[in-house]
Amino acid sequence: MPPIPSKQSSAAPTALIYITLGALLTVWSGVWFLYQSNSPTPSRGVNYVCMGLLLTGIALLVIGFAVGKISRKAQEGELVAQDQAARANAIAKDSALGPKG
């Protein structure tokens, strides 16, 4: 049975927030960009804002996926360390009891 971590990492909810915000921002900026491409554009500044929001959404998605991956790797490392500590404690307890037999 694998060891259970002592506390929940805050990286998973953070990654979920980044991914959700990034996805929503990307979708709605894409809709806005398509609307602008089918209608006359009021000014160049609006195009820059739209493209900036689209790229910001994509960046948030990338950050969210990266934080999630880093969180999984850190949790695996924490579980391995706890398992090794438990084994070391068991060996120390057995050696303290003296030789068997």
Percent of the chain residues past pLDDT 70, beyond the cut: 65
Q: How many domains does the chain have?
A: 1
45 occurs within a structural domain: yes
6 occurs within a structural domain: no
pLDDT at 43: 79
76 occurs within a structural domain: yes
Question: Which one, of 45, 50, 19, lies nearest residue 32 by Cα?
Answer: 50
pTM to 2 decimal places: 0.64
Give per-residue pLDDT as tens, 6-21.
566 677 788 889 999 9
Give per-residue pLDDT as tens, 71-98.
777 767 666 666 666 677 767 766 666 6
- CA torsion sign for 17, 23, 26, 30 is negative
72 occurs within a structural domain: yes
5 occurs within a structural domain: no
Contact between 54 and 29 under an 8 Å Cβ cutoff? The reply is: yes
Give per-residue pLDDT as tens, 22-79.
999 999 999 998 888 888 766 788 889 999 999 999 999 999 999 888 877 776 766 6
For 100, the 3-state DSSP assignment is: coil
**At 43, phi and psi to the nearest 5?**
-160, 165
For 31, the 3-state DSSP assignment is: helix
63 occurs within a structural domain: yes
Question: Which one, of 57, 69, 6, 70, lies nearest residue 27 by Cα?
Answer: 57
Range of the domain at 71: 11-97
